[in-house]
Structure formats: C-alpha cells, structure tokens
C-alpha cells in the first residue's frame, strides 16, 4: 500500500538546490517547508492521509479485500487516486482555496496530488480533464479551481496535459447542500464533451473533493459516451458522505 507521506520526502537534486535558494514556508504554521512543499515536516505528517484506500474508488480501506464493495456497484472509473481525507487542515486548505481565492493553497494541494500520482505506480494518462464549474458559478468565483489544480500537476509532471473539453450543460444545485440520495438526480446528464474534440482513449478526470462521487460519475459517463475507453479519477480529498 502506498505511503503518500513517505513519498513526499523524496527529493531530486534540482529540488534540493532550489530549496537552498528559495526555502518553502509551511502554509499551515509558518515554519520552514520541507521536500519542496509549502508544508513543514510536522504538518505533512499530521495531515489526514487517505491511506490505505481502495485503488478503484479511493474509499478508505480498513483491512478488507481490495477493490472494496465498489466492485459490485456501478462505478465508471478504472482507478482512483485521492490522497487526502477532507477534514481538519485539509478542509482549511481546500476552503481557503475555493472560497477565499487563495491560489497558493490550490497549488500546494495540486502538488500533493501530483506526488501521490507519482507514488501510485499506476499507468497515468497524458490527458487530464478538469471537471468544470457552470459559467455562472465561475463568474461568481472568478477562477476555475480544477484548472488551477491541473496547472499545478502539469507543472510538476509536464507529460500530463490539462485538456479542458468538458462543459456543464446546465447549472446544478450545490451538491454539498443536498442529501446523498438527491445528488445523482441533480447532476444527471449535466455534462457534455466539446463536440469538436477527438477524445483520447485513456483520460483522467480531475475534481477537488469527492463525496458520493455523483458529479464525477456523471462527468465520466459523458466522457465514455464520447469515446473514452478508460477514465481514471483524480481528486485532492475524499469527504465522508455526510459532509
């Protein structure tokens, strides 16, 4: 099972040299950052890591056989990489990023996800498809959070190309305000693929926080009906269903 925290500690020579000139600072406590990440060692260690987790649906796993019970349920993703749990300091970082426009916190979260992908040893697609906001919400927020995360991942791993080809067909209610049972209906057929795009066979869908997975599932179905043969799910954090 991948230990994401240990993986953050690995440094390459360029990273070590950069750190000597531009030492990173911890975005949670203000101490010196570590391993090229804007988090000190203590804060990295105390993050709520989602490990061990099911490699197919990223639900936290506690000693059961893997893949977990998702193997018997409709789940369009071949694999899922979601390194953190949405609680404590992670909820603070995600909230600062999404609702207060702290883009540096978004870059940090993107970098953590990127390191987790490297650690996962899964076969990674070249095309990363950010899950889009509806244009009205985008206008309110002023930035697309999944594009920001995609930028951080691609900066860390230039062979991964952000490919923003999904559109929201209609505005949907905010999923976090709905009961779990209402979430699938809210996002049913909410997405479409830009018709002029030739879709690669293997793609990753990028979201920030996954709860029931209803939004991501709806987006994955749009990608599969447009010709994708394998869709992986990448997200920063897994929230419990009651979040």
Q: Which residues of this protein are in contact with Zn ion, per CB under 5 A?
A: 26, 28-29, 31, 40, 43, 54, 56-57, 67-68, 70
Nearer residue to Zn ion within complex by CB, 25 or 224: 25
Min. distance of Cβ 78 from Zn ion in angstroms? Answer: 12
Min. distance of Cβ 221 from Zn ion in angstroms? Answer: 18
Nearer residue to Zn ion within complex by CB, 67 or 162: 67
> How big is the chain, counted in residues?
243
Which whole-number Å values give the CA distances from 185 to 24, 136, 214, 229, 241, in the listed order?
Answer: 44, 20, 9, 24, 16
Closest CA to 26 of 15, 38, 37: 38
Nearer residue to Zn ion within complex by CB, 94 or 133: 94
Min. distance of Cβ 102 from Zn ion in angstroms? Answer: 16
Min. distance of Cβ 43 from Zn ion in angstroms? Answer: 3
Min. distance of Cβ 193 from Zn ion in angstroms? Answer: 26
| Tokens of residue 6, six digits | 């240990």
Specify burial of residue 237 (Cβ count, 10 A radius: 0-12, 13-18, 19+).
buried
Q: What is the DSSP string of 149-207?
A: HHHHHHHH-TTSEE---EEESS----GGGS-HHHHHHHHTT-EEE-TT----SEEEEEE
Nearer residue to Zn ion within complex by CB, 7 or 75: 75
Nearer residue to Zn ion within complex by CB, 57 or 239: 57
Nearer residue to Zn ion within complex by CB, 116 or 165: 116
Specify burial of residue 214 (Cβ count, 10 A radius: 0-12, 13-18, 19+).
buried
Min. distance of Cβ 143 from Zn ion in angstroms? Answer: 26
């Amino acid at each position: 099972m991948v230990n994401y925290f240990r993986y953050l500690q690995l440094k390459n020579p360029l990273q070590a040299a950069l750190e000597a000139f531009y030492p990173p600072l911890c975005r949670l406590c203000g101490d010196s950052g570590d391993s090229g990440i804007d988090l000190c060692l203590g804060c990295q260690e105390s993050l709520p890591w989602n490990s061990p987790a099911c490699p197919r649906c990223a639900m936290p796993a506690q000693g059961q056989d893997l893949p977990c019970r998702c193997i018997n349920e409709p789940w369009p993703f071949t694999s899922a990489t979601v390194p953190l749990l949405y609680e404590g300091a992670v909820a603070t970082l995600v909230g600062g990023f999404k609702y207060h426009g702290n883009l540096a916190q978004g870059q940090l979260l993107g970098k953590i996800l990127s390191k987790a992908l490297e650690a996962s040893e899964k076969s990674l697609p070249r095309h990363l498809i950010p899950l889009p906001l509806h244009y009205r919400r985008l206008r309110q927020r002023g930035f697309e959070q999944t594009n920001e995360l995609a930028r951080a991942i691609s900066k860390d791993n230039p062979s991964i190309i952000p490919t923003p080809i999904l559109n929201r067909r209609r505005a949907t209610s905010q999923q976090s305000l709905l009961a779990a049972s209402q979430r699938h209906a809210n996002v049913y057929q909410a997405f479409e693929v830009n018709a002029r795009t030739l879709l690669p066979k293997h793609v990753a869908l990028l979201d920030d926080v996954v709860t029931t997975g209803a939004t991501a599932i709806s987006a994955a179905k749009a990608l599969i009906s447009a010709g994708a043969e394998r869709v992986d799910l990448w997200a920063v954090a897994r929230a419990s269903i009651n979040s």
